[in-house]
Structure 1
Amino acid sequence: MNTSSTQQHRLSETVQQLKPSGIRRFFDLASTMDNVISLGVGEPDFVTPWNVREASIVSMERGFTSYTANAGLIELRRAVSYYLESSFDVSYHPESDIVITVGASEGIDAVFRAIINPGDEVIVAEPCFVSYAPIITMAGGVPVPLETTKEHDFKIKAGDLEDLITSKTKAVLLSYPNNPTGAHMSKEELEPIVNVIKDYDLLAVSDEIYAELSYDHEHASLPAFPGMLERTILISGFSKAFAMTGWRVGYVCGPKDIMAAVLKIHQYTMMCASTSAQFGALEALKNGRADVERMVASYRQRRNYLVKTFAEMGLECHTPLGAFYAFPSIEKLGMDAETFAEAFLTEEQVAVVPGTVFGSGGEGHVRCSYATSLESLVEAMDRFKRFIERHG
């Protein structure tokens, strides 16, 4: 008996065809080395504010340790509704339009399983978060990459979007501010994209997890545009802006019929998000805005330092308008992104992520997270300069 063949038959063909996360390989390599500075991790370096941690602890001390409603604590859903309306001018009914999820990642998965029929196409702007295409594939859909470029600061152009639409197109997935590029689109820049989505009667899935981390213009939420509330599914959460990555609390908002389907999937797979984590998230929404502003100010300072330093090195790097990533071009060194990242880690013990793990449009670039201390960034840039001088 061929053991390898037998084992293959035990696994889903869809899952077998998925590639492992390209980010994880570099993290695993970095973990075996000493004195590594990581610019690869996509999470805040801040500890969750004490009042949020305390609210969670108090909830447990008061005995709130059972399941919540499948859709989440109604108090939290009401707080999300108020927060979105007051911050981004988007109005959702807490009872029917909002589901609290186990992080935004679960929300993305539930949304695509709720809307996709086998063979449906979803247009995905790349470079993008590494999970998007695999999640669409696992839901039975076909991810269709829309490559953005440094020449346009990694922003979508309406004509490029329209060129990819076919009779099988079901939805467009947008994520601004963007991971990995830090690109952001203003209200004026999004309007032509919105018009294409409406003209072709498509759904829009808008991952706005970095919405609060907008540095140079106000965040324009996709469902706030006229005619978009009824065709947009909004995904967000607490991980990035509120420094709550390990808490795993997110939320999905959208039209009532779609949210009923999302809730079904959530019920059968997760039951509900962690009760104590939901109480922490509630406190973050009620009393956490000052902490968010403090963290954003720090990120802005670090961003400005990185962009200035890359320019001094002669590396092209557009100014990231949101999130906490810089995406410099390393093309002038004559290395592909993966070769650069591996050599940089080996020679200078600095971990960055090759742009290609985020889609083909990321070739020639590396993602550098500035969600780390300014002291560490200064040391990392000194090592960057040495590497450039040696290989440039």
Structure 2
Amino acid sequence: MRLARRATKISPSPTLSIDARAKELAAAGEKIINFGVGEPDFDTPEHIKAAAIEAMARGMTRYTPVPGTLELRQTICAKLLRENGLSYSPGEIVVSCGAKHSLYNALQVLVDEGDEVIVPAPYWVSYIEQVKLAGAEPVVVATRPENDFKLTPAELAAVLTPRTRLLILNSPSNPTGSVYTAAELQALAAVVVEADIWVLSDEIYEKLIYDGAKHVSIASLGPEVKARTVVVNGVSKAYAMTGWRIGYAAAPAEVAKAMADLQSHSTSNPTSIAQAAAVAALNGPQEPVSAMVAAFAARREYILERLTALPGVRCRRPAGAFYVFPDVSAYFGRSFKGRVVESATDLAALLLEEAKVAVVPGAAFGDDRFLRFSYATSRENIAAGMDRLAAVLASFA
């Protein structure tokens, strides 16, 4: 059997693979503390579920327009204007089967074979694979912990070439939790406009921010950069709707049309019932979001306290999302029960086997000095997981 070349170049998602392995061990009777998956542990708010039930009752069970119902696209336009200062028409909105699908569609219509796409590291795991699937070449730019893992204008300008087509930005960031300020984005926008490249702005964690941080969309910083930006968002993280699979993109009309045309030959429309639920999420009460953010903020404080108390572990304070990204390189070259650890990948494997704690190694995000912990789990799980981690690290020789 011969597979297409593009299929042989795809790497599976490390986060989903680790989550699957952790669930296998749990099914076999092991008590696993899972810090691996990027999914809120809260249930979808009741008013959103009720909207889905009502949609089924009134027969909203057929195909919708490929880019989404007019009602949902109008709702998204209103949300973008109200919360982000962005003015779009329904014809510039494409609703897809999750934000990951929106990102995929955007890359497929914007980049060609041989184009270069700039990806700041640490990066979300699927960016690299999606760039490669589009035939383009990912240009990874390592950011610095001392700069809060944020790309600077100088770092961006240094990697521009005639083949540069697009920059991927993610704020708040997975895995680092970094949040770009308006001034930082404005400086990057100046480079983008001067170079005449696209920006793919992944804003899926925009509502999960702390310490008074403010989410700013780079597209809101002027008409020139907006004309070069595809904004991607969705309802998965903010409304605990990961399984509903609704994401969306806002883009110039020509790009939006191309994305909808592409989608018409892959998934067609996203689920009709989930679209009705998304309208309720965006239009309805926002108190459940505030309550979830408050819970995440408290968990963030606790996990930071526990991690920074561990000898040799360094962890900066994330301003958004629900991840911490500690540097564990102080343990490289040391051993546990005769087993030498040379990387975060080694340490993650050891923790899953010996401590029954699932974490994602930094190699998945472009820097194998780090581990990613999701604190989208209960305080009790965090406490138990930190106890197990401390016990393993204390036994290193």
| Range class of TM-score, shorter chain | over 0.9
Write the letter of the residue equivalent to 1:166: T
State the alpha-carbon separation in 2 of the partners of residues 92 and 304 from structure 1. Answer: 38
Matched, 1:90 2:86: yes
Q: Cα RMSD over matched residues?
A: 1.2
Write the letter of the residue equivalent to 2:360: V
Which of the residues 349, 366, 375 maps onto 1:342? 349
Percent identity of equivalent pairs: 35
Q: Show CA shifts across 1:229-257 (max 9, x none).
A: 11100011010011000000010101111
Which of the residues 341, 346, 354 maps onto 2:361? 354
- Contact 2:84–2:217 (CA<8 Å) still a contact in 1? yes
Q: Which residue of 2 aligns with 1:3?
A: none
State the alpha-carbon separation in 2 of the partners of residues 310 and 111 from structure 1. Answer: 38
State the alpha-carbon separation in 1 of the partners of residues 308 and 214 from structure 2. Answer: 26
Q: Which residue of 1 aligns with 2:216?
A: 220
Matched, 1:198 2:193: yes
Q: Which residue of 2 aligns with 1:390?
A: 395
Residues 272 and 25 (structure 1), Cα distance of their counterparts in 2 relative to 1, 3 Å cut: closer
Structure 1 residue 151 displacement after superposition: 2.3
Structure 1 residue 258 displacement after superposition: 0.8
Matched, 1:150 2:145: yes
State the alpha-carbon separation in 1 of the partners of residues 21 and 237 from structure 2. Answer: 25
Q: Show CA shifts across 1:24-67 (max 9, x none).
A: 44334323321001000111000101110110011101111111
- Contact 1:213–1:324 (CA<8 Å) still a contact in 2? yes
Q: Which residue of 1 aligns with 2:251?
A: 254
Matched, 1:304 2:309: no
Moved more, 380-389 or 247-256: 380-389
Which of the residues 274, 278, 300 maps onto 2:275? 278
Structure 1 residue 147 displacement after superposition: 1.2
State the alpha-carbon separation in 1 of the partners of residues 55 and 16 from structure 2. Answer: 35
Write the letter of the residue equivalent to 1:220: V
Structure 1 residue 303 displacement after superposition: 0.8
Q: Show CA shifts across 1:94-143 (max 9, x none).
A: 2x110111100111111011111211111011111111111111111111
Structure 1 residue 85 displacement after superposition: 1.1
Q: Which residue of 1 aligns with 2:335?
A: none
State the alpha-carbon separation in 2 of the partners of residues 29 and 180 from structure 1. Answer: 20
Write the letter of the residue equivalent to 1:23: T
Moved more, 83-92 or 270-279: 83-92
Which of the residues 42, 49, 57 maps onto 1:61? 57
State the alpha-carbon separation in 1 of the partners of residues 15 and 241 from structure 2. Answer: 21
Which of the residues 11, 15, 21 maps onto 1:23? 15
- Contact 2:143–2:151 (CA<8 Å) still a contact in 1? yes
Q: Show CA shifts across 1:255-314 (max 9, x none).
A: 111111111111111110100000000000111411111111111111111112111113
Which of the residues 304, 327, 330 maps onto 1:329? 327
State the alpha-carbon separation in 2 of the partners of residues 70 and 252 from structure 1. Answer: 13
Count of residue correspondences: 381
- Contact 2:198–2:228 (CA<8 Å) still a contact in 1? yes
Q: Which residue of 2 aligns with 1:364?
A: 369
TM-score of the superposed pair, with normalisation by structure 2: 0.94
- Contact 1:126–1:145 (CA<8 Å) still a contact in 2? yes
Which of the residues 286, 289, 296 maps onto 1:289? 286
State the alpha-carbon separation in 1 of the partners of residues 48 and 116 from structure 2. Answer: 40
Q: Which residue of 2 aligns with 1:139?
A: 134
State the alpha-carbon separation in 1 of the partners of residues 141 and 321 from structure 2. Answer: 20
Structure 1 residue 20 displacement after superposition: 2.5
Secondary structure, counterpart of 1:41 in structure 2: coil
Matched, 1:44 2:49: no
Q: Show CA shifts across 1:55-80 (max 9, x none).
A: 00111011111111111111111111
- Contact 2:348–2:360 (CA<8 Å) still a contact in 1? yes
Which of the residues 100, 104, 115 maps onto 2:110? 115
Which of the residues 70, 74, 79 maps onto 1:74? 70
State the alpha-carbon separation in 2 of the partners of residues 252 and 258 from structure 1. Answer: 10
- Contact 1:242–1:288 (CA<8 Å) still a contact in 2? no
State the alpha-carbon separation in 1 of the partners of residues 198 and 285 from structure 2. Answer: 32
Unaligned runs of 5+ in 2: 333-340
Structure 1 residue 17 displacement after superposition: 2.1
Unaligned runs of 5+ in 1: 1-6
Matched, 1:265 2:262: yes
